[in-house]
Structure formats: C-alpha cells, structure tokens
Amino acid sequence: MTTSMVMASSHKIFLLFFFITFLLFPTTQAQTYIDHNCSSNKKFTANSAFQSDRTTLLSSLASNNATDFNSTTVVGRGDTVYGLFMCRGDVNLTTCHQCVVNATQRLPSDCPVSKEAIVWYDECLLRYSNRSFFSIVDTRPRLGRPNPYNVSNPASFMRTLYDIMNKTADEAAKPAVGEKKYASNARGEILPFRTVFCLAQCTPDLSPSDCRWCLSGTIGDLNLCCDGKEGATVLYPSCYVRYELYPFYLPEAPTPTPPSAIVPLPSSQGKALTYLLKL
C-alpha cells in the first residue's frame, strides 16, 4: 500500500470517528426538565417587595452567560433573597445559559408565592431562598429518578456500581472551595458487553469534605429508590449522582466560550419518561 493510500485511509477513519462522536455527543443540547419543589410553609404575598426582589434575583442569574456556576444575593425592600445556578460539568456555556434562562422563567410560574424553590433539569439546577444556603450542604428536598428497567443480576451489579460511584465521588470532591466539583467515569466489566457511565457533582461553594459527605448521601439513596435498575439519578440541592448503561455526558468538557445573545426557548412541560420518587 502506498503512502498516499495509507494517508487517505487514515483520513477516512478520522472522519468516520469524528462523525460518530458528533452524533453521540452534540455540542448543542435541548434542555430536559426533571422536577421542581416549592416551599409549602414559606410563602409571600403576591405583588409584595419579596416578589420584586425575587424577580431581580432571577433576572441577574439569567443574565450571567459567562460561567457554569453563579451565586447572587439581592438585599431589597423585603427579605434578602439568595440564589444560585449550577450547570452539569460537561455542558457548554450556550447550553448552560439556555437552561438557566428556562429555569428562571419556569420557577415563578411553578412556585408563584414560595419563598424557597428549586428546579432540576438534566443540564442545570437553579434555586432561591430567603435564607442563606451558600457553602452549606442541603439534602432536602431530594429526588430519586430510576430507570424503569432492571438488570439481570442486581446484587452483583450494585456491589460493583457502588465501587465505581464512590471512586467517582472521590474525584468530584477533590477540588478546593470555589472550583468545579465534577467527575465522570465509565467501566466496561460491570455487565457482559455493557459499559456503565456515571457522574457525580457538587456545587463549587462546598468544601471537599462537605461535597464528599453530600455525595455519600446520594449514593446511599440509590439503594432506596433505584436498587437493581439499569440507570438512576439521585438529586439533592447541593449535589447529585447519576449512572446509565449509555453515554449521557460529553467525554470532555468543551472549552468555555461566552455565548451570543439567546432567545429564550419554552422548557419541556412534561417530565422524563422515567418515574420520580420523593425520598
């Protein structure tokens, strides 16, 4: 085979690999709504000062398109309002910003007079409260999201899964306060001819020890909601874990590039096909 033929063959292989990667891991993603939670015992009067301050807070969060995590405080005419958003560690800034915009539009409708609320998407979470929760581990409300399908050997599967999930959590919790706390992992020998993909993430304002403690709780809750399932997500306000038998995250975080102006898109009104369990 001549050198030119080898180069042509290599080029075709590269293009095929690039095309497959593009199909599996698109750079622009639609945002998938999971669930939300509104405080039932902490409410404000409609058209009050707190509502105005909440609007200011959500507008500030939605306008930040240059980072995948932001915390904001508004000291207005009512109670002080605290808020933050965090995007999944692998999504690009355009997807992140769009998810945050959708979340800020959704929460006032879903929780019209709640002083505390959170919304989860696959790509981001956003929350606000009249109490400061920055740098504090919050484990309530919590949510389990199991895949409806079961594995054939649940006991063996879960033992190996806990091992890989704990190693992933160890990696996610290593960075210092203020740094991204995200890790993903994949292991092929957990099931015959199947690869398990998993990730763990905490809000960056947590310390490494608090992050690891939070993730330990989510991993422990897998046994409550999702034992023997082919995939699952456990969501806390401060951290979450997820695993699936298919790739659901990008292999590497893209290079951050501030996006151009985004026209808000309507968020998905339906929940994921999997069912949800309040833990």
* Model pLDDT for residues 210-252, shown as the tens digit of each residue: 999 999 999 999 999 999 999 999 999 999 999 999 999 987 5
Cβ pair 204, 86 in contact under 8 A: yes
Q: With 60 as the cut, is the pLDDT of residue 116 above it?
A: yes
- Which residues of the chain does CATH 3.30.430.20 include? 33-134, 143-244
Neighbours of 248 (CB within 10 A): 18
245 SS3 class: coil
pLDDT for 180: 97
Whether the CB-CB separation of 100 and 67 falls below 8 Å is answered with: no
CATH number attached to the domain at 143-244 = 3.30.430.20
User: How high is the pLDDT of residue 93?
Assistant: 96
33-134: what fold?
Killer Toxin P4; Chain A (3.30.430)
pLDDT at 254 over 50: no
Q: In the chain, count of helices (H) and strands (E)?
A: 5, 11
Count of alpha carbons within 13 angstroms of residue 102, beta-carbon side:
26
Supply the DSSP string of 8-68, one letter for each residue. HHHHHHHHHHHHHHHHHS-SS----EEEEEE-SS-B--TTSHHHHHHHHHHHHHHH--S-S
